[in-house]
Amino acid sequence: MSVSSTTPATTAEELSEGGRRELPQKRAKAALSEGKRQERRLGWLLCAPAALVMVAVTAYPILYSFWLSLQRYDLKFPSEREFVWFANYATVLSNGYWWTAFGVTLLITVVSVAVELVLGMALALVMHRTLIGRGLVRTSALIPYGIVTVVAAFSWRYAWTPSTGYLANLLSDGAPLTERASALSIIILAEIWKTTPFMALLLMAGLALVPEDLLKAASMDGASAWQRFTRVMLPVMKPAILVALLFRTLDAFRVFDNIYVLTNGANETSSVSMIAYNNLMKGLNLGIGSTMSVLIFLAVAIIAFVFVKLFGTAAPGSSDEGRR
Amino acid sequence: MATLDTGPRAKLKWGLLDAVVVVFALIPVLWVVSLSLKTTATLTDGNFIPREWTLDNYRLIFQTDQFVRALINSIGIALISTLIAVVLGTMAAYAISRLDFPGKALLVGVSLLIAMFPQVSLVSPLFNIERQTGLFDTWPGLILPYITFALPLAIYTLSAFFKQIPWDLEKAAKMDGATQAEAFRKVIAPLAAPGVFTTAILVFIFCWNDFLFAISLTSTEQSRTVPVALSFFTGASQFEDPTGAISAAAVVITIPIILFVLFFQKRIVAGLTSGAVKG
Amino acid sequence: MADIVLDKVTKSFPDGTTAVHGIDLEIADGEFVILVGPSGCGKSTTLNMIAGLEDITSGELRIGGQRVNDRAPKDRDIAMVFQSYALYPNMTVRENMAFPLKLAKMAKEEIDRKVGEAAKVLELTEHLDRKPANLSGGQRQRVAMGRAIVRSPKAFLMDEPLSNLDAKLRVQMRTQVSRLQKQLGTTTVYVTHDQTEAMTLGDRVVVMRGGHLQQVGDPQTLYDRPVNLFVAGFIGSPSMNFLPATVEENALRCPMGELALDDRLRRLLTAADAPRQLVLGIRPEHFEDAALVDQAGKGFTFTAPVDLVESMGSDKYVYFSVEGGPAVAADLEDLAADAGGADVPHDRANLVTRLSAESRVRGGQEARIWMNVDKIHLFDPSSGRNITLQEEEPAGVAAS
Ligand SMILES: Nc1ncnc2c1ncn2[C@@H]1O[C@H](COP(=O)(O)OP(=O)(O)O)[C@@H](O)[C@H]1O
Ligand SMILES: [Mg+2]
């Protein structure tokens, strides 16, 4: 019987007479069996349609978008189309409206995600631990998740519309949706209402990973409820929390529907998505709209990069255990 | 801890917390329902509970082409997108969870990127591309981006489900005399069905919910979906306050969501969490 | 029913791992053969190749005299019991057991009758309409057996069918499996990593390691005449003691002292062209309290401090640690790794002895112990070969 004496990793032990003990020999990949080749082919074949659609609808347009962003291209003046290198970027980045929108987007993102994290954690604990009505709580919590954002936004809009709404009458000072500060607060409230349940569900999945015995042991060791939460539960849940934060941050950064319905961007409440949309659909300015698209894409990429690199968020699915 | 503290006081505490959650979640929904049932006269009285009830708003919207057409568009586009996304997603997820082939990690990575992609970045290029290819303001023009953004969701959720299937069963079925096809049809498919169904619900909710693509890539009633139609609603005449009609339409498109949530709460929770956390 | 023949069967996985290296094995009709070995040694792979669940890379597999390498599992007429039981969760117990018969397009009444019979044999009659999820581990295991026996296949393959049960149930089921096999007389290949299970169950035991056969034989032969260090150490519980031994002029020096070399040993050593450094192996029951041995004539007596005494009622396990260091051989490291790799101190060797219950030996005291020199085995540390077997023909098949 042959011993793989060519394998550098082979130690004296494996070379013992008879070679009864052999390390798994890592041979060159050249010798693929027929079954293996079939498996590969089947794998590619099954994935091809999904991959093609995803790449065709995202990769090509984003490149095309970059190409458009280097041109002056206004559908109202199609004859003036011209290649202008990075002039559009200079225009956008030196524009006050863009930075206002950027600030609004950041504000909405940071505040809503922070509040959602706290509320979501509370909701997750309630859903996970409640003694009664667990099904009822979970069912009601899913309603904000499932409901069409535009529908919820209309509900909030009418609630705060003077004379029509039940909430507008609570506050005496006129029309809250027409003042910047209160309008932004309402937008954030609408975001929080809509997405806290999703956050809570992700966190609840993390909670389920906390071993019950660990909590019991901690309380035997004299940890208070708060200490059990901070010292035992949070560390175990950290990966789930980071994933939830990443998803929600990127999602919040795309805020559009709520603003469109609640204020339509009036009184400087536009988000970046909103002004990109306005430049495109109202202004019909493809060059500037595309520039903004690319900038938003870059901003999102930076956020994702920060999460993954700085906080070490494990991208879901990256740990690939897909063996039978 | 649940085991340490189960007395009546704890129950009361949890009961109150439960009530807060339920109220928080339901009030905006009930408010729209209430608005949709108010008469024109009482519409602006600011009461949470209507004083006078009417179904006029519902009658009205079902008489306008604008809404009925949008409802058909919404249902058609969401169903077709769901069907295609789930079929393609099932194929890919099966391959990811069961087969070994180079490029698997790449596919998982790409779909993760797409899940995080800012959709507005696609609006301008797609707007231009669709205008040039004639897809603008058509069903396929919306179905394509919907499938694209639903696919990562479908692939994650399904591969999480597929990884839980004990694949030994396939071997067992073969030993029991089944062909590959019989093993799949009689043993694996019945086990995979709940996961596929759950994924279909999640994908449907996603498509049903979209506003940005729908408002950017449509321009007429021909393919406008309900969320967009709502924002263009003007009521029976140009000058009438559309609040009642919008509320009624909003209630109509909320009904399927409520039904899903009521009947499939457990599955939706399982689907959302397995896809996102266990991946 | 049929015999199963493996002729130089080899399995290489696509990633380059060769899990099974040219195995030759003949399993007679109706025989109960056990494949045993540490986990990862290729037992499941071998079984899967017999089943048709894995392709055979090279070599030939014959069932009932016919080459079946290229036959699909369903055309081999073999039933298999899995470690995870692999019960179909969406079917009731009845449907699970009827599944193979339905696939074989058997008539409904016939199916009912067969399922009923099997259920009766396995005491599952009152559970027939329950789903597997509502059954206990032992019941699930029986359903898995039931699904295998209903179709009266040519052979049964079982892959660690009892290892998910708790210890007591495992012993009970062991006897049941054995009885069932005798009753049905169906050729059976049974995989386990538990040597006790292997020794108690089978007509013949096949010891595997790293994809190679080590020794094939009936349990007693494996126990008394292991062909190499690995088999000697793997079979038996507590396992054989291994000590370093050096061949001197007229004696064999080992940690307990110097053993005189008799003619037999001298002949064996010369015949085997043995190195000077050897590994001495001796089983715990081949020691005795010297005070209880009538004629200490043939044998060797030594004195050592007692570490620990475990009284089992019927006899006593007495542990010593003797100076001179543990025996060193590649095979022994493998065995230690398989057993959980306990760290052994480097300058002392542990000795486990099984003495009569009447022995007065106490922990912490010196004890005089007698050792049956006739029962020692000597192994070549580099190859692991058992030198003491050399003179007679080995009863089993040695590897390579
Ligand atoms: N599908 C596979 N691909 C690559 N290597 C495998 C595969 N299945 C098993 N192996 C390897 O083959 C060897 C034998 O495995 P197996 O037959 O399952 O061992 P056992 O059942 O004796 O514990 C192991 O080293 C294992 O890692
Ligand atoms: Mg195994």
B50 and B84: one domain? no
- The whole-angstrom distance between residue A291's C-alpha and the CA centroid of its chain comes to 22
Please report the pLDDT score of residue A6 as a whole number: 36
Mean pLDDT across chain C: 88
- Pair C397, C222: CB distance under 8 Å: no
Chains that touch C (3 or more CB pairs under 8 A): A, B
Q: Would you say how long chain C is, in residues?
A: 400
Ligand found nearest the CA of C35: 1
- Pair A181, A108: CB distance under 8 Å: no
B45 and B78: one domain? no
Question: In the predicted model, is pLDDT for residue C76 greater than 70?
Answer: yes
Average pLDDT over residues C9-26: 91
B105 and B187: one domain? yes
Please report the pLDDT score of residue B200 as a whole number: 93
The total of structural domains in chain B comes to 2
Domain that holds residue A14: 8-52
Q: Whose CA is nearest to atom 18 of ligand 1?
A: C44
A116 and A36: one domain? no
- Pair B43, B244: CB distance under 8 Å: yes
Question: In the predicted model, is pLDDT for residue C31 greater than 90?
Answer: yes
Please report the pLDDT score of residue A313 as a whole number: 63
Write down the residue that tokens 């349609």 correspond to.
A49
Residue C162's pLDDT band, with cuts at 50, 70 and 90, is very high
A80 assigned to some structural domain: no
B81 and B8: one domain? no
Residue C79's pLDDT band, with cuts at 50, 70 and 90, is very high
Start-to-end Cα distance in chain A: 31
A86 assigned to some structural domain: no
A70 assigned to some structural domain: no
Question: In the predicted model, is pLDDT for residue A266 greater than 50?
Answer: yes
B187 vs C84: CB contact, 8 Å cut-off? no
pLDDT greater at residue A130 or residue A269: A269
B49 and B109: one domain? no
A182 assigned to some structural domain: yes
The rounded distance, in Å, linking the Cα atoms of C151 and C186 is: 12
Which of C11, C17, C158 to mutate for ligand 1's pocket (most ligand atoms within 8 Å of CB)? C17
User: Cα dihedral sign for A203, A209, A212, A213?
Assistant: negative
Please report the pLDDT score of residue A306 as a whole number: 86
- The whole-angstrom distance between residue C31's C-alpha and the CA centroid of its chain comes to 16
A13 vs C333: CB contact, 8 Å cut-off? yes
Q: Which residues have a Cβ under 8 Å from the Cβ of C346 and sit 6 or more positions away?
A: C325, C326
CB atoms within 10 A of CB B265: 18
Q: How many CA atoms lie within 13 A of A6 on its CB side?
A: 5
B59 assigned to some structural domain: no
Q: Whose CA is nearest to atom 26 of ligand 1?
A: C40
Is B13 part of the contact surface with chain C (CB cutoff 8 Å)? no
Please report the pLDDT score of residue B3 as a whole number: 46
Ligand found nearest the CA of B99: 1
- The nearest alpha carbon in chain B to C91 belongs to B187
B71 assigned to some structural domain: yes
* C241 CB within 6 A, ligand 1: no
Chain B neighbors of A131, CB-CB under 8 A: 2, 6, 10-11, 14
Highest mean pLDDT out of A219-233, B54-68, B262-276, C151-165: C151-165
A166 and A231: one domain? yes
Omega of the bond prior to C238 within 30 degrees of 0, cis?
yes
The rounded distance, in Å, linking the Cα atoms of B137 and B142 is: 8
A20 vs C210: CB contact, 8 Å cut-off? yes
To the nearest whole Å, the CA of B191 is away from the closest chain C CA by 7
B33 and B109: one domain? no
Inter-chain contacts counted by CB atoms under 8 A, chains A and B: 338
Please report the pLDDT score of residue A130 as a whole number: 80
Average pLDDT over residues A16-32: 40
Please report the pLDDT score of residue C267 as a whole number: 85
Please report the pLDDT score of residue C296 as a whole number: 56
Question: In the predicted model, is pLDDT for residue A312 greater than 70?
Answer: no
Is B190 part of the contact surface with chain C (CB cutoff 8 Å)? yes
Nearest partner of A147 among A155, A137, A138, A157, judged by Cα: A155
B190 assigned to some structural domain: yes
Residue B134: DSSP 8-state: T
- We report the CATH number of the domain holding residue B121 as 1.10.3720.10
Pick from A1, A16, A35: CB nearest C21 = A1
Residue A225's pLDDT band, with cuts at 50, 70 and 90, is confident
Question: In the predicted model, is pLDDT for residue B86 greater than 60?
Answer: yes
A58 assigned to some structural domain: no
Residue B239's pLDDT band, with cuts at 50, 70 and 90, is low
A188 and A291: one domain? yes
A204 assigned to some structural domain: yes
Percentage with pLDDT > 90 across chain A: 23
Average pLDDT over residues A154-180: 78
The rounded distance, in Å, linking the Cα atoms of C245 and A257 is: 84
Average pLDDT over residues B115-133: 86
Chain A neighbors of C379, CB-CB under 8 A: none
Please report the pLDDT score of residue B5 as a whole number: 59
Question: In the predicted model, is pLDDT for residue A32 greater than 80?
Answer: no
| Six token digits for residue C341 | 């790799």
Percentage with pLDDT > 70 across chain B: 93
Question: In the predicted model, is pLDDT for residue A24 greater than 70?
Answer: no
- Pair C37, C205: CB distance under 8 Å: no
pLDDT greater at residue C38 or residue C295: C38
Please report the pLDDT score of residue A320 as a whole number: 36
The total of structural domains in chain A comes to 2
Question: In the predicted model, is pLDDT for residue A12 greater than 50?
Answer: no
B27 and B69: one domain? no
Chains that touch B (3 or more CB pairs under 8 A): A, C
CB atoms within 10 A of CB A85: 9
3-state class (DSSP) for residue C370: strand
Ligand 2 center to residue A291 CA distance, Å? 58
Domain that holds residue B32: 1-54
C18 vs A25: CB contact, 8 Å cut-off? yes
Matching CATH number, C4-224, of 3.40.50.300, 3.60.110.10, 3.65.10.10, 3.40.190.10: 3.40.50.300
Question: In the predicted model, is pLDDT for residue B41 greater than 90?
Answer: no
Pick from B112, B156, B205: CB nearest A146 = B205
A24 assigned to some structural domain: yes
A246 and A120: one domain? yes
Q: Please calculate the CA angle A178-A184-A187 and round it to the nearest 5 degrees.
A: 105
Is A21 part of the contact surface with chain C (CB cutoff 8 Å)? yes
C14 vs A32: CB contact, 8 Å cut-off? yes
Percentage with pLDDT > 70 across chain A: 83
B72 and B186: one domain? yes
Average pLDDT over residues B270-277: 68
Question: In the predicted model, is pLDDT for residue A194 greater than 90?
Answer: yes
Tell me the pTM: 0.79
The helix (run of H) or strand (run of E) holding residue A253 is helix A234-253
For A87-117, the pLDDT digits (tens) are 889 888 888 889 999 999 999 999 999 999 9
Residue B240's pLDDT band, with cuts at 50, 70 and 90, is low
B68 and B50: one domain? no
For C211-222, the pLDDT digits (tens) are 999 999 999 999
A102 and A230: one domain? yes
Please report the pLDDT score of residue C340 as a whole number: 67
* C210 CB within 6 A, ligand 1: no
A25 vs C384: CB contact, 8 Å cut-off? no
The rounded distance, in Å, linking the Cα atoms of B123 and A21 is: 61
For C81-126, the pLDDT digits (tens) are 999 999 999 899 999 999 999 998 999 999 999 999 999 999 999 9
Cα torsion through B249, B253, B255, B260, rounded to 10: -170
Please report the pLDDT score of residue A14 as a whole number: 36
List every span in chain C annotated with CATH 3.40.50.300. Answer: 4-224
Please report the pLDDT score of residue C370 as a whole number: 92
B142 assigned to some structural domain: yes
Q: Beta C300-311 vs C366-371: how paired, if at all?
A: antiparallel
Domain-ending residue, one of B54, B74, B90? B54
A110 and A220: one domain? yes
Pick from B29, B92, B119: CB nearest A147 = B29
Among A12-21, A248-257, C231-240, name the one with the lowest average pLDDT. A12-21
* C44 CB within 6 A, ligand 1: yes
Domain-ending residue, one of B12, B30, B54? B54
A202 assigned to some structural domain: yes
Q: What is the ipTM of this complex?
A: 0.88
B41 and B165: one domain? no
